[in-house]
Structures are given as structure tokens and as C-alpha cells.
Structure 1
Amino acid sequence: MRRPRPAIRLSAWLASVSLIGLASGAAARAQVPAPAAGQALPQPLAMPPAIPAPRDIAYPGTLGLEVNATDLDRHVFSVTETIPVPDEIARSGGDMVLLYPKWLPGNHSPSGPIDQFGGLVVSAEGKPLAWARDTVDVYAFHVPVPKGAKSLEAKFQFLSPITREEGRVVMTPDLLNLQWNATALYPAGYFSRDIKVDARVVLPEGWGYGTALRPLKAQRDDGARLAPIAFQTVDFATLVDSPLFAGRYYRKIDLTPSGSNAPVSLDLFADTPDSLDATPAQIAAHRALVTQAYLLFGSHHYAHYDFLLALTKQLGGIGLEHHQSSENSGPPGYFTEWDKTFPMRDLLAHEYTHSWNGKFRRPADLWAPNFDVPERDSLLWVYEGQTQYWGYVLAARAGLITADQARDAIAAVAAAYDNRAGRLWRPVQDTTNDPIIAQRAPLSWTSWQRSEDYYSEGQLIWLDADTLIRKLSGDRHSLDDFAARFFGVDSGSYVTAPYKFEDVVAALNAVQPYDWASFLRARLDRVGPGAPLDGLAQGGWKLVYTETPTPYLKAYQDERKLHDYSYSIGLRLDNDAHLTDVAWGGPAWKAGLARDATLLAVNGVAYTPERLSAAITAAKPDKGAPGQALTLLVKAGERYRTVSLDYHGGLRYPHLERIDGAQDRLDQILASRK
């Protein structure tokens, strides 16, 4: 064994290296030629004039917006827009700035699809105008308005993705998803809520549609062309918050009684008509979701609400919240394979909760006056984290999932974050910046880099808060009381009510006095191993690992076509044997494996999931005998290599197990309310 160098010798060596470095640095600097006498050094150019800041005043006139969504083969939305010119510009002419929405609600990031915007032609009184894109903000277009012009006409296309490699597919032969932000320009200098819009859409003949917008009249065909569906006038903020699904196969199901003052419907769209075959029991569970949400919050903050749900493999996946609708997709077998699709049935509950948490009550630094002012995401652990918590709870209370399935889902979350290596350096608070940093681009090392962990680690924090309130209050109070107090105010209003961290703390203290500020900051700002699992223990359960996956994990893996060995050898594969994730610091990582490699063989035999599972089991010592070796043949690019994994712990899958003698508060949380 080699003995370490004495510390004094190491210090002397470092000192000598430093002196050498200083000397070489000085020599390098001496070789840089000095500027000639009087020679000017470069200086930055002045920035162009700033885009007009939004003002909270009414925009003069109403925008007219028509979107033709019939070009299904080429995936093109064609737009014609009329934009009144404000008098102060019309009197003498001048620069008018039109904006394409950049910061999209629910995305929490500057993700407006400007790369798919094309063909812009702007004219006034039939004469084309030579617009110019801003040299700093590529979402802004300067239009030279001639003197006396009363309005502009803008024509352009939204060139939506044809394949998923280009982005999310939003138009297919049978379905489309119209997001108005992708098909509209709006004038700079005004709050988006102060700009009125008359929107119309032309859909393929015979298609049904669903949206939170309400039509002026049911006009479908004037004999010469497909007549546009005209909607009631709304402000631009409401328009962007009211996407539209349309499709060849459509079904609308009322979830509230006829005559309800706030009707709720389930608007279904599908690739094939058989996917719309919901049973009475399945419909009853969705009706129960509305009932359980009302019982939780004690209010509603919409005039009407539409669950927009596309059951599809053709359209790109989405789960996005809006104030008066959801915008979701699910598997074609959502209803017809009900026993297999439960891992995604918290989605509607999650997005519905956002009508209260995120749309009605919104973090103050996340609210912006228009769609091109930057948002700040510091409170997403409330906006998304608590919504993730209520998504599971409400889905269980409504019967969309069983209590067993909910517990299995919580076990999966607890294990994921209890094993997340990135917790050693990065607090969950910092992950609220991820929508801006990464915009959900693939990551090489998710377990180390972390990715929007405020969702599900935030969910664990709120489980901790709920069970602690119950424990401290002798089970007289719970997070349900917080939800009613914080989100349930001003029923019937859908004017956004912003909040700050201090408001969250005050509402918690009003339910159950405690040092909630320290409670939250400790969990949000701490770095170190181990997820916040106190909520499980206070709820009467603990995280354990067994050799068989739960029914939830099995269904989750089957739906997503993956095989998960995260908690044994530390990797995950898809059905094509590609490594989709490698856990930082795990056995596969230590063997030098990385995502995107292909697993070809296990112990010299062609890979199958069954063979890999059997080999992991065989590598575990049995009755004093050492386990067998575990070697993998992998292909990364054009390189083949065999690696040996130093792992002998057997298969490991997360479960929840009851703590003997502890009160079962978790099942109380998941139980339906009356």
C-alpha cells in the first residue's frame, strides 16, 4: 500500500506550481500586443428602443381573428387577423409593434413556438407594409403604419409539426388541438386583459369541437365554403387561456345536473369511435371528481368548465391547465381498458385543481400583464406541488383510482426522490427554475441534474404538512381546511388573486398554529440525501422495497413501454432495449454506462427483460452461497463492450407498508368525503 505524501511536501509542491503558473501567466500577458497609441477599443452598440411596456388601459377597438384549420394533410393553420390602429399612431403614422406570445401560461417558460410561425404579410388598406423583426426580441414585429390607416390586416401561417421530431403534433387526419397563442399576434403596450378579440375558426366539415369559449351561433356551412364558427368576444388573455380540441369522433358528457349555474362537461375526442365508449360507472367517477372538488374547496371560479380530453396515439401528448377548461390527452384505451389505464387517471384531477390553484390563486411573481413579460417561478412548489398532491387525493376520493393504487403511486414518488442523487447539491427550490432552464428538453443525467422536482417532491412536502396538521390538531383539522381557506374564497369569481410565500404561511397558521415558514424553508432549501418522507410516517406508512413491482408500477411500465431497474442495478430501458436513464452513482453508472446505449446481452445470452430480471436475482447471495456474476454486453454508438456490475441486492421495487400500531391517516386522506 502506497503511503500518502506528507502534508508539508504537498504544500510545497502546490506553492511551486502556483509560482510557475504566475510566471507563465505573466509571460502570456506580455505576448498580447497593446493597442496602438490613440487606438479605440470596441464598445457595445446602443440597444434599440425598448418595446412599449404594457399599460393597464383599454385597447381601442376589437381584434378580429380567423383561423382556418382544414389543411390536415400539411398540418398548416392559416390565419387572417385585423388589428385596429390606435388614434395616436393613425394621426401621423409611425411604428406599431405586434407581439407573438412568448411566455405561455402553464408552461412557466418562454416557449411560444416562434420557429413555427411563417408567411407573415401585413397590409393597410390593401397595401403591403414592410414589417421588420426586432433585432433583440425576435417575438416582436415592427410595422410602419402609414398616416391615416385605421386598421392593419395580418396574414400568416402556424406551420405545426408534421412529426414528433419537430415538436408536439397538433393536427392529424382525425383530430386537432388549436392553441390560440400559436395563431395570433397582439399589439404591444397593453395588458392582455385589456385587448378585446372576436375569434373565429374554420373546421373540417362534420367535426365536433370543445372549448371554454362559447359560440355566437351554430353556423357550419353557407353552401359556398365552410363557414367559420364565431365565438363571443373575449379579452386576449381569456382567448389564449381557452384552447380548442376538434375531431371527427367526438362525445360530450355532462358532469353536472341540467341547469347548474356552473356546468361542467367532459368533451371527448378520439382516433376511433370505439374509444369513446365510457360505461355509466366510469362516467360516475368523473362526476364524483367534480363533487369531491367542490367538497374540498367549497367554491368554483368559472362560469362553466370543459374537461378537454383526446384519447389518441396520433396527437401529441399534453397535460395543461386553464381557468375554465383542461387540455389533456390519454391513451385510446382510457375507458375500454380501464383496468390498465389507472396510472394516468390523476391527470384530470390535477388539471381541474389548477382552476383553483394556479389560475384563480396564482403566485404573484408568476402573474404577468401580457405574454411577453417574463414570469418568475419561485412558488411552483405550491402551484404545481400542491396540485400534484390534490390530483392523487381527488382521484382516489372520486374513485378514478383505488386507495391501493394511490398508495402504490405515492410509493413510486417517495422512492424516486429518496434515491435522487441530485439532492446532494441542488435544493428543490432551485428546480422551480427548470421550466426556463431546460424547457423539458432531454437530460443526460436526470437523477443528478434534477428536473422540475417541485412537482412530486413538492407533493411529498404537502403530504408532510397535511399529516402534521392532523397530528398537531388531534385530527380535527387538515390540509383540506387550508384548501378551503386559501382557494375557496370569492366563489364565482375568476379574477386572478395573486399570493406570496407569506400568504401561504399565514393561511397554514390560521388552520393550525406552527412555525410553518421554517417547516417549508427547511424542506425547500435543504440539500442532502433522503426525500421528505415524514408525511408517510405520520400517515401510518413506511417506504419498503420488495422483489415484485406493484400493480401500479407494472401498469405504468406497460403503458410507457419501459422496464425499470432503477432501484437495483440503476437503469431503465425502453422496449427496444435502449437505456433511457441511468441513476447517477448506481451500479450501472459505476460500470460506465450512460443513457442511449443499447443492451444486447446478459451474461452472454441475448437480452430480454425476463433474462435481465433473472440474472439480477441470480446475482443475489443465497443461503450463504455467493451470487452469480452479472455482465452486460452494450452498444454505444459504434462501440461494443462488456461490463460487469458489482450488484448483489436482487430486484427492488418500492411499496408502502403499514407501521404497526400507527394511526392510518393516509387512508383517511384518500377516503371519499360526504
Structure 2
Amino acid sequence: MTAPFKFRLLPLVALIAAIALPASAAVPPPLDQPYPGTIVLKVDATNLSQQIFRMKMSIPVKPGPLTMLYPQWLPGNHGPSGPLTQLAGLKFTGNGKPVEWVRDPVHVHAFHVTVPEGVSTLEAEYQFLSPLDSAQGRITMTNEILGVQWPSVTLYPAGYNSRRITVQPNLTLPDGWQFGSALETAGRNGNEVAFKPLDLETLIDSPLFAGRYFKRIDLDPGAKVPVHLNIVADNPESLEATPEQIEAHRAMVKQAAKLFGSYHYNHYDFLFALSDEFGGIGREHHQSSENGVKPGYFTDWARSESGRELLPHEYVHSWDGKFRRPAGQDVPNFNVPLQNELLWVYEGQTQYWGKVLAARSGLISENGTRNGIAALAALYDNVQGRSWRAMQDTVNDPIINGRRALGWSNWQRSEDYYVEGMFIWLDVDTKIREMSGDTRSLDDFARAFYGINNGSFVPAFYTFADVVAALNKVQAFDWAPFLRSRLDGHGSGAPLDGLARAGWKLVYKDAPSDATKASEERSKSSDFSYSLGISVKQDGAIAGVVWDGVAFRAGLAGNSSIVAVNNRAYKAEVLKAAIKAAKGSKAPIDLLVKQGSNYRTIALDYHGGARYPHLERIAGSKDRLGTILKAVK
């Protein structure tokens, strides 16, 4: 048997050698030089039924090697999330004849072509096959709404800084649709829109929302530098906002102006989708933001309070993250890796100011803000993963995990730099207030750090040392070790010193707050994290397990479902009643659990009663939190 096997193998080896992949053509490094000529990009977004974007691109070229790149590292996503799998149908032609391309086998977002002699314009045709359902990615096109994210529909030449490549974009919309964008319109002929030429970096950072049902609201009437809320929705009813609701959004813009004392945009455009079908989103851009929530934002105002922090958060990013950027975000193009070590400033401080501006403007009540802080304080105070993983390391999660679901998030940790970063900045704010006798605050830092170069669009980059130096100008203190101990530490519990210095403490009560109730209603689940150590979906499926909590020690995992509680079919009310009955009793809570095709009964030896997070005033302390949340006159 050995000889015939060798006889067959040798020709196969020779065949493989004969068809070996060509050696990788080097991807030219980006240089600070202008790309010769203007690239013309045409996007056809009219195929609503199949959700396909079709592109044509005209690229000025000269004969010889050319590498075209598809964006990989996307600002705001903090990771290599360019949707390469949804790029399809790529063809190049020159003078009407096909020009073949070869994908780089290492840098797979790169396409190598050789431009033939006599060709001065290379034509490209391709499609972006936008997701048909959420399992494939975020939905960006429906029968009523579409969103154009330019990284998804754009190719660009390697060898040049993105700021030195000029693109003239064009868009064909469905008949009668209107749109919002920070892009400047050069002209419109029916459903065809031509935009003014601009550099590639600004184009990629300037998305567009369009819709069958559209409304534009001026949030700063008469302002020299306008701010607009561009709303698209599944139906015209969802667009209707009361004068009081609009006034709260206008107050948010005014409070931001008082906080930063500057602007860094020609005009700012909130792109706001209210939809059950169009994918939810919150993504920052320098002169705009993409925001998507469920319908009812205006029409069910009383129940949508907790979702009204989104717009102020993304608006703050115009200053924090887009104008002032961490030095590691200073990359020459969209295929050079980002470095995320300062995301606890970029996102953490934005999380802080978003919450503050929501309260100062009246978008969220002071009580609603406190309830939200209580829920977050409890969540992060119970993160068991901090024993092995410092918060600083979580800035790498957008790269490591790509925002996929986690089986044991309480232990693995996720992008904790957002909310835990917020608590660090509350700590800084109250420390400044305490040391200065309440004459200075983080507001002074915001104006000094983000308010520079008023009117400039040119990003100003910073380092950790720059942050420390700016804090010292507001209030002299040894800020570097103060921050590093909170970023790099492994102590138990969230950094809640700032909350105590603000005059409040985290406590647990047997009834949920309005914020907890709203959260459970939105997620269609019930949270028993601080009693049994689990959260449970409406149908009994376990949504999360606290590492080393009561349920964990009993052997429960997230791929299980609760079928019955003490021999009664599972309902949230039944489990809540069992927790209440077990308080003061010695009898365990019996759960019938299904895991795969197996059933088993487990006993939870818990007798502590229901526990839901709340904030409570510290007797005799100064209510600095109330001062922080109060509107600035």
C-alpha cells in the first residue's frame, strides 16, 4: 500500500507548486502627499427590496501598479470592523476593457491591479450587500429608511494620507425621499444628489440618513453655526414632537455651548432614526452623529426617559473624541491600526458629560439620572472580573472581541471604559470640587481642554501627560497616580469614591427603581443579579450569570432555561414571590432547569430577599451631585 500512495502524492505536490499563489505585492505605505485628481463616487441606494447599494467609481490613474483599499479600521467603532464580507461584484475597467485584480493574501482589504498603458481613468463597479437580517449585521436599509455609511461603499488608493485624497460623492435616492447629513450639497436633480468635493477622511466621517418620512428641526434658531435634528421614521406619526420635547433638545445644545465654550463644525446634524426595522445605533462623527432608537421616543415620552441620554452623548463626541483625540487615534488612513489606550477619556468622559447634559437640559429628570447612576454603580460594583483584569485592559475589547456577545461577561469583562470611566471622571470632578472649596470643577477642565481653537475643524491630539497637565492647571494635585490606581487596580468594587464625595451612596432595597423597571421592560427580562446572581428573559432563558454568585455556585450557565420554580411554571412573578418567601425561611428555592435536552432540579440556598440598587443621601454631606446635574445659567 505504501508505494502506490507515494506515486499518487508526487504529481499532486508538483501540481500545487505550479499553481502557487503569487507573491504578495507590497501595499504602499500612506504618505503625506496629494492624490493627483479627484475620485468620483456614485452610490445608487434605490434597491430597497433587496437592500443592495450599487457603486460606480472613477479613479484618475497612471499606468503601472495600483492598490485600492477597502476601509478596515473604522473611527467610532474602535476596531477593525470594516464589513469586508459584504463587498461584492468588484470589477475594474480601463478604456472599456477589463482590468484584473488580485487580493493581497496578507492585507485582505487590499486589491492590487496593474493599470494598462493608455489608461488615465480606472472605472470600478461593486456592491455593498447590506444585511438582510440582524444576524448578518446592522440593518442599514428598509422600505422607509436608509443609512449611507461611506466606509461601507468606498474604495480608495493606497500610498496617500486620507486627508490628501479628494472625493466627489454622488447619491441616487428613492423617489421623493429626503435626507440629512453634514455633507455640503452641490446640487440636486430629482432623486440624484451631488455633494461638494471633499477629502476622504471627512467623507468617511460624514454619514447620511434618508427616509420616506422625514422631519428637520432647528435646535439652535438664529445661531451663526446651526444645529439640526434630522429625523427619519417608519411612519409619519413617530415624527411628531411637542414644543416641550423640542425645547429640551434645544436646552441640551445650549448647555453644551456653556460647558465647552466652543464649536468645531460648520453645522452639526443629528441623524435620528425611529424604527423597529432600521438598526439601532449610536455613533459619533465630527459634525454629525448616527442615532437609532425604537419608535415612541416622542410619542411615548414618559416611558422613553432612559433612552434620552444617547443624543447628548454623541453630541459631546464632537468635542471629546473627534476634535480632541487621543494620540493613538492619529492614523494616516483607514487601514492603519488604531490604538485605544485613552478610550477611558474618549468614551468615559463623554459618558459622564452625556449624562450630565441630559440632566442639565431636562431630557432626563434629576431623579431619573440618580436612578440610572444607581443601576450602573451596582452593575460595575459587582464585576468579578476586575480581580484578574484591570479596567485599562478593556480598551482593547473592540479589537479583541469585535463587540460579539460574551458567555460570562461579569467575569470576562467587556468595554468597561465607558461606564467605569464615567465613575472615574465623577471621582475627578468631586475631588476638584472638594479641594477647591467648590470653586472649581471638571467644567473648568472641559472648557480649557476641549474649548481650544474655537471654530477649528483640525483635530487636536493628546496624551495621558496632556490630560494630567490640564487637570493640574484646574487644580494642583498628583493626578497621575490618582488616575492610574483606578485604571490599573484590581481591588474589589467599582471606583465609587466620587459618588460618596458627591453626597450619595449605593444601597439595595426590596423594590426596583423606575430605571430598573424601564430597563426590564426594554430588555423583556427580569434582573435578579443582586440576589440570585442571574438575569432571566421573559421565556425563562437565563440571560446572564454573575460569576461566583448564588446561581453560579449551583452550576447554572447562560445556555440554560428555568422551566419551573418550586414546582410552578416559570414566570418572573413566580420567582420574585419565591425569593420573598425564602427570606427568613430555611427552605431553598427549587428550580427545574433545562440545558440542551437535559432537565435537572437545583436548589438555591438564598434567603436574603429581593435586592435592587438605589442611591441614598449620606447624612450630613454636601449634595455635590445635585449641583453637578443642575442647569448652568
Whether TM exceeds 0.5 here: the answer is yes
Deviates most, 627-636 or 470-479? 627-636
Structure 2 equivalent of residue 21 of structure 1:
none
2:623 matched to which residue of 1?
A: 664
Match of 1:210 among 180, 193, 205: 180
Q: CA deviation at 1:556?
A: 1.7
1:228 partnered with 2:187: no
**Which residue matches 1:493?**
456
Deviation at 1:263, TM superposition (A): 0.3
Deviation at 1:218, TM superposition (A): 3.1
Q: Which residue of 2 aligns with 1:116?
A: 86
- The residue number in structure 2 matching 1:177 is 147
Corresponding position of 1:364: 327
Specify which of 637, 654, 671 is matched with residue 596 of structure 2: 637
- Asked if the contact 1:618–1:627 (Cα under 8 Å) also holds between the matched residues in 2, the reply is no
SS state at 1:268 partner: strand
Shift of 1:580: 1.3
Contact 1:485–1:507 (8 Å) recurs in 2? yes
| Alpha-carbon distance, 1:638 to partner | 1.1
Is 1:61 aligned to residue 31 of structure 2? Answer: no
Contact 2:240 2:299 in 1 (8 A): yes
- For 1:446, the equivalent position in structure 2 comes to 409
Of all paired residues, the percent bearing the same amino acid is 56
Structure 1 residue 122 displacement after superposition: 0.4
- 2:395 counterpart of 1:425: no
Task: Determine the C-alpha separation between the residues in 1 that align with 2:539 and 2:127.
Answer: 37
8 Å Cα contact 1:200/1:230 also seen in 2? yes
Q: Which moved more, 1:566-575 or 1:517-526?
A: 566-575
Q: Deviations over 1:38-86 (max 9, x none)?
A: xxxxxxx99734311101111100110011011111110000011111x
Cα distance between partner residues in 2 of 1:490 and 1:561: 46
Shift of 1:364: 0.4
Give the SS at the match of 1:148.
coil
Q: Answer whether contact 1:536 1:542 (CA < 8 A) is retained.
A: yes
8 Å CA contact 1:331, 1:341 repeated in 2 = no
1:40-119 residue pairs with structure 2 within 5 A? 48-85=24-61, 90=62, 93-119=63-89
- Secondary structure of the 1:332 match is coil
Match of 2:443 among 480, 493, 505: 480
Pick closer, same or farther for the CA change 1:47–1:502 going to 2, 3 Å: farther
Matched, 1:264 2:227: yes
CA displacement, residues 593-613 of structure 1 (integer Å, 9 cap, x when unaligned):
111322111111001111111
Residue-by-residue CA offset, 1:433-474 (whole Å, 9 max, x unaligned): 000000110111000000000000000000000000000000
Report the 3-state secondary structure (helix = DSSP H, G, I; strand = E; otherwise coil) of the residue aligned with 2:220: coil
Tell me the residue number matched to 1:141. Answer: 111
Distance in 1 of aligned mates of 2:514 and 2:285: 32
* TM-score normalised by the chain length of structure 2: 0.96
Q: 2: distance between equivalents of 1:645 and 1:50?
A: 61
Aligned match of 1:34: none
Counterpart AA for 2:129:
L
Paired with 1:228 and 1:197, the residues of 2 have a C-alpha distance of 17
1:500-556: CA deviations, max 9, x gaps?
Answer: 000000000000000000100000000121110000110000000001111111112
Question: Deviation at 1:219?
Answer: 2.0
> Which residue number corresponds to residue 609 of structure 1?
572
Please give the alpha-carbon distance, in whole angstroms, between the structure 2 residues aligned to 1:481 and 1:596. 48
**Residue correspondence of structure 1 range 298-337 to structure 2 within 5 A:** 298-337=261-300
Aligned-pair CA distance for 1:561: 1.6
| 1:253 aligned to which of 217, 221, 225 | 217
Q: Is the 2:280–2:294 Cα contact (8 Å) retained in structure 1?
A: no
CA distance in 2, matches of 1:532, 1:103: 31
SS of equivalent residue, structure 1 residue 190 = coil
- Report the TM-score when normalising by structure 1: 0.90
Contact 1:101 1:185 in 2 (8 A): yes
Contact 2:587 2:605 in 1 (8 A): no
One-letter amino acid matched to 1:81: M
Q: Secondary structure at the match of 1:309?
A: strand
8 Å Cα contact 2:25/2:112 also seen in 1: no
Q: What is the CA–CA distance in structure 2 between the aligned matches of 1:244 and 1:560, rounded to whole Å?
A: 29
**Correspondence for 2:168:** 198
Q: 1:339 is paired with a residue of what secondary structure?
A: helix
- Give the aligned residue type for 2:37: G
- The code of the aligned residue for 2:183 comes to L
Cα distance in structure 2, aligned partners of 1:55 and 1:370: 10
> Is the contact between residue 218 and residue 228 of structure 2 (CA under 8 Å) also seen in structure 1?
yes
**Contact residue 544 and residue 655 of structure 1 kept, 8 A:** yes
- Find out whether 1:375 has 2:345 as its counterpart: no
Partner residue in 2 for 1:14:
none
**Offset, 1:560:** 2.1
Query: Which of 567, 581, 605 in structure 1 is aligned with 2:544?
Result: 581
SS of equivalent residue, structure 1 residue 549 = coil
**Structure 1: which amino acid aligns with 2:322?**
K
- What are structure 2's unaligned runs of at least 5 residues? 1-20
Q: Distance in 2 between matches of 1:648 and 1:233?
A: 67
> How much has 1:148 moved relative to structure 2?
2.6
Report deviation, 1:639. Answer: 1.2
Q: Which amino acid aligns with 1:55?
A: L
Deviation at 1:629, TM superposition (A): 2.1
AA in 1 matched with 2:449: F
The residue number in structure 2 matching 1:514 is: 477
- Deviation string, structure 1 residues 223-276 (Cα, Å, up to 9, x no partner): xxxx42001111111111011111111100001123x22100000111111111
* Equivalent pair of 2:217/2:228 in contact (CA under 8 Å): yes
Deviation of 1:214 (Å):
1.7
Aligned partner of residue 257 in structure 1, secondary structure: coil
Instruction: Tell me the distance in 1 between the aligned counterparts of 2:141 and 2:586.
Output: 53
Kept in 2: contact 1:346–1:391 (CA 8 A): yes
One-letter amino acid of the counterpart of residue 598, structure 1:
S
The DSSP-based 3-state class of the residue aligned with 1:346 is helix
In structure 2, give the amino acid aligned to 1:652. Answer: R
Tell me which of 151, 160, 163 is aligned to 2:121.
151
Q: Pick the structure with greater CA Rg.
A: 1
Q: Please state whether the residue corresponding to 1:641 is helix, strand or coil.
A: strand
For residues 343-396 of structure 1, what are the alpha-carbon distances to aligned partners after superposition, in whole Å with 9 as ceiling and x for unaligned?
Answer: 111110100000000000000012211000000100000000000000100000
Q: Size of the alignment, in residue pairs?
A: 614
AA aligned opposite 2:67: V
- Cα distance in 2 for partners of 1:216, 1:404 equals 47
Aligned residue type for 1:308: L
